[in-house]
Amino acid sequence: MAVIKHSKQRDAIRQFLMSRTDHPTAEVVYANVIKEFPSISLGTVYRNLSFLVENGQAIKVPCEDGSVHFDGNVHPHYHFQCKTCGAVLDLDMDGIEEAQSLNRAAAANFKGMIDGNVTFFYGTCPDCMMKQ
């Protein structure tokens, strides 16, 4: 992995992610962080986002439509993407432990080790429902 020297930039990227609940893409992070660090490149933003994800300080949310979003909220939670506007929302779910018992079910007849699973929900968001 490339050496990342500019931890001020990484702090700014992390701060920005923590301040948002709309799961920005790397491009959105870049468009905001460049206001504070005019010389930052999109590649640096990507590298810092990967670093945060690898170190458990952010979550990468790959979506159905091929876009990749980032989340500063690292507590286990599920995501929803609107098929109409592409918005990525957090789901406030009851029974999240039941959803995670899927790991145990998957591990039952599997000789390897299951660390997690990715479940993704999609449909129409409340804003788009209003517009219909």
Question: Does residue number 125 form part of the binding site for Zn ion (CB under 5 A)?
Answer: yes
Give me the count of residues in the chain: 132
Report, in Å, the least distance between residue 85 CB and Zn ion.
3
Kind and range of the H or E run holding 30: helix 26-33
31 binds Zn ion (CB under 5 A): no
Which span sits near Zn ion by CB under 5 A: 32-40, 64-72, 95-103, 109-117? 64-72
Rule CB under 5 A: is residue 52 a binding residue for Zn ion? no
**What does each C-alpha distance from 35 to 12, 27, 29, 39, 41 come to in angstroms?**
11, 13, 10, 9, 12
Q: Which is nearer to Zn ion, 44 or 69 (CB)?
A: 69
Q: What is the number of other CB atoms lying within 10 angstroms of the CB of residue 34?
A: 14
In the complex with Zn ion, the residue whose CB is nearer, 3 or 94, is 94
Q: Which of 128, 130, 131, 132 binds Zn ion (CB under 5 A)?
A: 128
Residue 68 within binding range of Zn ion, rule CB under 5 A: no
Counting Cα atoms < 13 Å in the Cβ hemisphere of 63 gives 23
**Window 73 to 92, contacts with Zn ion (CB under 5 A):** 82, 84-85, 87, 90
Compute the distance between CA of residue 73 and CA of residue 20 in angstroms, rounded to an integer: 9
Binding site for Zn ion (CB under 5 A): 71, 82, 84-85, 87, 90, 125, 128
